[in-house]
Amino acid sequence: MARSLARSFASTPRIDVAGITVSAEDAQHVRHWVFCDRIMPDRRRCVRQADHDAPCRPADDP
């Protein structure tokens, strides 16, 4: 759900969707990244899920 919501806000300039984390209601101090936080050579972020096994991928890559 967090990924879908983030993608819907991706075109909003002030929201950095790569910085989105989720946590359980009773353990809000334990956060989990939704997206990979690695920065690609062209200075954009990888669009894959956090902890992915495949190589990182920029936003416009098929």
DSSP for 1-62?
A: -HHHHHHHHTTSTT--GGG-EEEETTEEEEEEESB--PBPTTSPBP-SBTT-SSPP--TT--
Q: Is the pTM of this model over 0.85?
A: no
Asked if residues 37 and 44 have their Cβ atoms less than 8 Å apart, the reply is no
* Two structure tokens written together for 16: 């950095």
pLDDT 10s per residue in the chain (62 long)? 777 777 777 777 777 766 777 788 888 888 787 888 788 887 777 878 888 999 998 766 55
